[in-house]
Amino acid sequence: MPRREATALDRAMARIVASIPRGRVATYGQVAVLAGSAGAARRAGSWLRELPPASKLPWHRVVNAGGGLSPRGDGSALREQRLRLEREGVSFDARGRIRLADFLWDPFARRSRSPMRSSRRK
DNA sequence: GTTATGACGCCGT
DNA sequence: AACGGCGCCATAA
């Protein structure tokens, strides 16, 4: 049995994370807001950590507000996350960060364009 | 009831 | 741009 019953917030976050499209990412804060609990970004992270390894949720599509992957005790999960993201077309810059301008999920966009990497700036 | 902890985030230096 | 400080929500001790 789960060490803890799923709360309404847990279910809401699960629903949000499940809707993040392939090849896009959402931030912890964004998940919290969409789940109806703005400011609970930290909670979102803690909740993800509790997910069973067999979870079907696309947990790897949740990144921090800086476009980076948040570290945890074991770096193996971190490499797994990056691997999964790259496999669906999400690219990382030299500093290991994702260009959110290109890959951040917009839940309100009717149809999101496939990210074009031609948008180099600078 | 308090205090510590954490896959976070914003703001000021 | 990087860092430290502080606030935030929920859990665990």
A95 touches strand C (CB under 7 A): yes
pLDDT one-digit tens code per residue, A20-46: 999 999 999 999 999 999 999 999 999
Instruction: Round to a whole number and report the distance in Å from the CA of A45 to the C1' of C11.
Output: 13
Residue A47, CA: closest nucleotide via C1'? B7
Q: Which tokens sit at A101?
A: 């301008």
Cα A4–chain centre separation: 23
pLDDT one-digit tens code per residue, A71-116: 987 788 999 999 999 999 999 999 999 999 999 999 998 877 777 6
Given a contact cutoff of 8 angstroms between Cβ atoms, the answer to whether A15 and A4 are in contact is no
Indicate the SS3 state at residue A48: helix
Indicate the SS3 state at residue A63: strand
Q: DSSP string spanning A89-119? A: T--B-TTS-B-HHHHB--TT-SSPPPPPTT-
pTM of the entire predicted model? 0.91
